Amino acid sequence: MFYAFKIFFDFHSSIVNLKSSFGVNPFVKRFLDFFLPPACSLCGRAGAELVEGAICFNCRKLLFPIHPPLCPHCGRPFAAGDSHPCSRCMERMPNYDFARAGGLYRNAMITAIHSLKYRERIHLAKDLAGWTLQQCEDYWFLPKADMLIPVPLHPRRLKERGFNQSLLIGRVLSEKLSIPCNPFILIRAIDTPPQVGLSEEKRRMNVRGAFEISRKKESLVAGKTLLLVDDVMTTGATVEECARTLKNSGAEKVYVLTIARVE
Ligand SMILES: [Zn+2]
Ligand SMILES: [Zn+2]
């Protein structure tokens, strides 16, 4: 029974992916909707209140938005009190100017990010980016940027996965925020080992020098305010290294926006 449901859910998600990614003919879409009505991206339940591929009310309740009090620099949330710089930022200011995330990397958020990255539920990029911007409207302010830059994958990793989740998220944010998205400026020159299980210091060392600016693209970032986009921020080592690289090429300010952050 479980496997029958799984096969149906996998098939259904493939159709949702297909419908949302390629903008199928309206007639074909109505036909598909009739037999396979829009279902929640996370739990798979079909419902009248759902728009295509959206996250249902029940699953939304399992996402934990990040809201003040938080660190004004890195966006680390506090359990109580007023917003103030966190001890980590007091000790060493990050290379970026400002970082915010939509929600905590726990519960349904982990499922959602894993489904997007490892199970190719690419329609989740749209839902999660929309949800994150909703948290921005409700809880904090996102300063205006000139250009949006997704955190790049190394070409070998990109070939393996077939897509860069940060670019998928970035494209949605770019459209909603009316900021141009340029995935060709920042490149990942070194395929570093995974960061999982490494300490904060080791993570920083691991990604040191991993990013470069494409040849002759420095002029595109010089003096600009950039919005760096990624799916999850753990210790911030990756986005810090990206920000360092962009600032070395003359970027004026680098803001960071992620869907989730580890507590
Ligand atoms: Zn659901
Ligand atoms: Zn901080």
Non-local CB neighbours of 187 within 8 Å, separated by 6+ positions: 152, 211, 212, 213, 214
| Interval 127-143: pLDDT, tens | 999 999 999 999 888 88
5 burial type by CB count under 10 A (0-12 exposed, 13-18 middle, 19+ buried): exposed
- Ligand number, closest to the Cα atom of 256: 2
Tokens 């070194």 correspond to 190
> Among 259, 263, 262, which Cα is nearest to 134's?
259
pLDDT digits (tens, 9 = 90+) for 4-58: 444 444 544 454 445 444 455 666 666 666 666 677 878 888 775 665 557 888 8
Domain with residue 145: its CATH number is 3.40.50.2020
Query: Are 93 and 55 part of one and the same domain?
Result: no
**102 plus 210 within the same structural domain:** yes
Residues 97 and 215 in one domain: yes
| Model pLDDT, residue 9 | 45
CA of 85 to the centre of ligand 2 (A): 5
In this structure, are strands 98-104 and 253-261 parallel, antiparallel, or unpaired?
Answer: parallel
Contact assessment for residue 30 and residue 66, using Cβ atoms and an 8 Å cutoff? no
Asked which of 45, 60, 75 is the last residue of a domain, the reply is 60
Q: Are residues 46 and 173 in the same domain?
A: no
Q: Which residues are within 5 Å of ligand 1 (an ion), measured at CB?
A: 40, 42-43, 56, 59
> Please, what sign has the CA dihedral across residues 133, 138, 142, 144?
positive
Does residue 74 fall inside a structural domain? no
Counting every residue written for the chain, the total comes to: 263
pLDDT of 30: 63
Lowest model confidence (mean pLDDT) among 66-70, 104-108, 118-122: 118-122
pLDDT of residue 3: 46
78-104 residues labelled b (16+ CB within 10 A) or e (exposed): eeeeeeeebebbeeeebbbbbbbbbbb
Asked if 37 and 119 sit in the same domain, the reply is no
C-beta of residue 199 within 8 angstroms of C-beta of residue 237: no
Q: What is the largest CA-CA distance in the chain?
A: 59
The residue that leads in pLDDT, 197 or 231, is: 231
Q: Which ligand is nearest to the CA of 47?
A: 1
Does a structural domain hold residue 78?
A: no
**88 CA distance to ligand 2 centroid (A)?**
6
Domain limits at 148?
87-261
Average pLDDT over residues 216-229: 95
pLDDT at residue 21, rounded to an integer: 45
Nearest residue to 243 (alpha-carbon basis) of 196, 211, 201 = 211
Rounded CA gap, 152 and 257, in Å? 14
pLDDT tens-digit series, residues 163-216: 999 999 999 999 999 999 999 999 999 998 877 788 888 888 889 999 999 988
Query: 209: which 2 tokens?
Result: 């020098």
Is residue 17, in this structure, part of any structural domain at all? yes
47 Cβ contact partners less than 8 Å away, ≥ 6 residues apart:
38, 39, 40, 56
Q: Give the model's pLDDT for residue 15.
A: 47
Domain count, the chain: 2
- Ligand 2 geometric centre to CA of 58 (Å): 31
Kindly state whether residue 162 falls inside one of the protein's structural domains: yes
